[in-house]
Amino acid sequence: MDYNPEKGWHDPRIVPYGPLCLEPSTMVFHYGQAIFEGLKAYKSDDGRIFLFRPDMNMKRINISNDRMSIPPIDEEFAVEATKALVSLDRDWIPSEPGTSLYIRPFIISTDPFLGVRPSYTYKFIIILSPSGAYYPTGINPVKIMVENEYVRAVRGGTGFAKTPGNYAASLKAQEIAYEKGYVQVLWLDGVERKYVEEVGSMNVFFKIGDEIVTPMLDGSILPGITRDSCIHLLKNWGYKVTERKLAIQELFDAHSEGKLDEAFGTGTAAVISPIGELNWNDRIITINDGKIGPVSQRLYDTITGIQNGTAEDEFGWITVVE
């Protein structure tokens, strides 16, 4: 689908996957005015096809668009367009346990123009790819390095938007952590480097005694749909869930006092990614003996169950693709 100021968003079409032809001066290459999304289509044992809360992804597109000065899309139309595309490509959805069809909507600015201003023209594209099981050999908690030098986002910046520059800026820290044997970094806030924000490109939760804590959304954190789903489920199960500031020191103190029971990341790709070890300035702590905890496991089982149609969809999170 294309955008220009005269016609607005127009000409939605489904065409075979193939290269784009863009001039080297195309604005997105130079100024990064773009956004993206990520969701999945799941096939149930009886062959039905489900999307998980796609309305939330399309709503978030408009939140990202607004921050990046991209004109808003029609959210309901975008859900219908996604359903039409997935339905057409249904034979590409794998059916083995844990597999899915990854859906990547994105918008790029397309004026052939050098000069910093919002583009007048855009393309909104949705591509698909079969996706293997994230945990083919079972869920293994990961080792995470607390990042002290680089920051992902600051309040007033673009941290809450799903925009490519955030990811480009995160690669360096990720690369350094990886060289040291850690799979991802735990990001601290960009001002004081004191408060926990996210883990890699996932939101993060901690079970501290009988409280489950996740950093509050204050502009530098991406409002994850998996995060929202976890908060919903946990509250429904009677847990005390708190969205607040969480200092890294508090976390390490809680561990010393034997109160840090579980830590996990949340996101569409992994759903739940338990954290088994944290390294902060060479202070290394092991969480739950490096094993997945009961709350993480229950969230994983429930959300993946809803997604593949084996658990009851109590909250109306499933959209069926006909």
Ligand X SMILES: *Cc1c(COP(=O)(O)O)cnc(C)c1O
Residues at the site binding ligand X, with contacts judged by CB under 6 A: 38, 162, 198, 201-203, 222, 224-227, 266-268
Q: Which is nearer to ligand X, 272 or 292 (CB)?
A: 272
Q: Where are the beta strands (DSSP E) in the chain?
A: 2-4, 8-10, 34-36, 39-43, 49-52, 100-109, 122-131, 142-146, 184-188, 196-199, 203-208, 211-215, 240-244, 260-267, 271-280, 283-286, 318-321
In the complex with ligand X, the residue whose CB is nearer, 203 or 279, is 203
Burial 49-74 (b: 16+ CB within 10 A, else e): bbbbbbebbbbbbbebbebbebbebe
Q: Which is nearer to ligand X, 3 or 317 (CB)?
A: 317
CB of residue 128 to ligand X, shortest distance in Å? 16
| Closest distance to ligand X from the beta carbon of 156 (Å) | 17
| Residue 145 C-beta: closest distance to ligand X, Å | 17
Token pair for 124: 């909104």
201 vs 307, which CB is nearer to ligand X?
Answer: 201
Minimum Å gap between C-beta 235 and ligand X is 17
Q: Are 228 and 222 in contact (CB under 8 A)?
A: no
Q: Could you please report the per-residue DSSP string of 207-241?
A: EETTEEEEE--SSSS---HHHHHHHHHHHHTT-EE
Q: How far apart are CA 51 and CA 79, in angstroms?
A: 10
**Residues 85 and 110: beta-carbon distance below 8 Å:** no
Find the shortest distance in angstroms from Cβ 135 to ligand X: 16
- Tell me whether residue 212 or residue 222 sits nearer to ligand X (CB atom): 222
Report how far residue 152's alpha carbon sits from residue 104's, in angstroms, rounded to the nearest whole number: 22
106: closest CA among 132, 128, 77, 86? 128
Closer to ligand X at the Cβ: 12 or 38?
38
Q: How far is the CB of 167 from ligand X (least distance, A)?
A: 7
Beta strands in 190-314 (DSSP E): 196-199, 203-208, 211-215, 240-244, 260-267, 271-280, 283-286
Find the shortest distance in angstroms from Cβ 52 to ligand X: 10
- 128 or 202, CB closer to ligand X? 202
Distances (CA, A) of 289 to 192, 204, 299: 30, 19, 19
Q: 60 or 207, CB closer to ligand X?
A: 60
Contact at 8 Å (CB) between 196 and 215? yes
Minimum CB–partner distance for residue 293 and ligand X (Å):
19
